[in-house]
Structure 1
Amino acid sequence: MFDILMYLFENFIHSEVEIMVDHDELTEELTRAGFHKEEILKALAWLERLADLQDSDKHPYLYKQTQPAVRIYTADEMAKVDANCRGFLMFLEQAQVLDNSTREMVIDRVMELDMAEITLEDLKWVVLMVLFNVPGKEGAYSQMEDLLFDINEGYLN
């Protein structure tokens, strides 16, 4: 499923090509690209739930906290998001790339991935996808894009 998300992001969203809104056409395009239909449907549902997270009526907990907060991870989250990834999320908050709401969106989307553990590289892509989809976060998206694509990544590897 993550490969499909990456494919969609790189070939449609990130390249600024207008993404097809018809699920059948998109499913057919992804099938021609070699992806399995079950995984395609999971990826499309993941993207729909990402868009749904922006609805403050459905997810008011994402918008109530305006002050910085310490995030306590559940056991399931800690199993999937290792200390390296949690540290990176904290770094992004301190660098003001993520705020409380976008951090929670990232964690929500990570937990929906069908992976036992997420790598730091995969986490960076999820952060980028979340920021791309949140209106008003263009500056944060640009900062994250610089972190992801910077040739001299240094400690972020």
Structure 2
Amino acid sequence: MLDVLVYLYETYWRPDACPDHAQLTRKLSAVGFESEEIKEALSWLDGLAASANAYQGTQGPHSLRVYSQAELNHLGEPSVGFISFLESAGVLPPPMREMVIDRAMVVPGEPLDLEDLKIIVLMVFWSRGQEPDALILDELFVAPEDRLIH
């Protein structure tokens, strides 16, 4: 499913540039994605659109997030730490943080792989028509061992 999301991010600059689900399903099938994987990705995107509406205005800029035990177990320590890092850097406001957590909780696997969380973060930015700044893109895509230290 996440491979489909990455393909959509790379192919369509914004969600409104995507064709309707039926046409998108045909295009993704033609590219070689499995039908179940496509169905899961489209369902995940529908949930992303719903969460964008659900979390608008529900959190103040100084809100504090307390994770439930189920969230901690599913996300894992590296993912919770990465979300906290993005918040403290001022690039992930509370409504977007909630969208990330909401969408991460429906991805199978426990704990969630940090690389999978990074794709989710990227898709949340994409869904809002925003591109993270270059430093955040570096955090999302460049492995720590490949970074150049100046």
TM range (shorter): 0.7 to 0.9
Deviation at 1:19, TM superposition (A): 3.9
Residue 84 of structure 1 corresponds to which residue in structure 2?
A: 78
Describe the shift of the 1:128–1:20 C-alpha distance in structure 2 as closer, same or farther (beyond 3 A).
Answer: closer
- What letter corresponds to residue 93 of structure 1 in structure 2? E
Q: How does 1:48-127 map to 2 (within 5 A)?
A: 48-55=46-53, 59=54, 62-127=56-121
The structure showing larger relative contact order (alpha-carbon pairs under 8 Å, at least 6 residues apart) is 2
Aligned-pair identity (%): 39
Q: Distance in 2 between matches of 1:147 and 1:39?
A: 27
Residue pair 1:84, 1:120 contacting (<8 A) in 2 also: yes
In structure 1, list runs of 5 or more residues that go unmatched: none
Describe the shift of the 1:69–1:20 C-alpha distance in structure 2 as closer, same or farther (beyond 3 A).
Answer: closer
Q: Distance in 2 between matches of 1:153 and 1:127?
A: 23
Kindly report the root-mean-square deviation, in angstroms, between the aligned alpha carbons of the 2 structures: 2.5
* Runs of 4 or more above 6 Å deviation: none
Secondary structure of residue in 2 paired with 1:6: helix
Residue pair 2:56, 2:95 contacting (<8 A) in 1 also: yes
Q: Distance in 2 between matches of 1:74 and 1:132?
A: 27
- What letter corresponds to residue 147 of structure 2 in structure 1? N
TM-score of the pair, normalised by structure 1? 0.78
Q: Deviations over 1:130-155 (max 9, x none)?
A: 012225x54xx22422322455178x
Residue 26 of structure 1 corresponds to which residue in structure 2?
A: 24
Describe the shift of the 1:33–1:23 C-alpha distance in structure 2 as closer, same or farther (beyond 3 A).
Answer: same
In structure 2, list runs of 5 or more residues that go unmatched: none
Describe the shift of the 1:116–1:124 C-alpha distance in structure 2 as closer, same or farther (beyond 3 A).
Answer: same
Describe the shift of the 1:71–1:132 C-alpha distance in structure 2 as closer, same or farther (beyond 3 A).
Answer: same
Describe the shift of the 1:84–1:104 C-alpha distance in structure 2 as closer, same or farther (beyond 3 A).
Answer: same
> How many residue pairs get matched?
145
Q: Distance in 2 between matches of 1:79 and 1:22?
A: 35
Residue 12 of structure 1 corresponds to which residue in structure 2?
A: 12
Q: Distance in 1 between matches of 2:128 and 2:24?
A: 22
Residue pair 1:80, 1:118 contacting (<8 A) in 2 also: yes
Q: Distance in 2 between matches of 1:10 and 1:153?
A: 25
Deviation at 1:62, TM superposition (A): 4.4
Residue 152 of structure 1 corresponds to which residue in structure 2?
A: 147
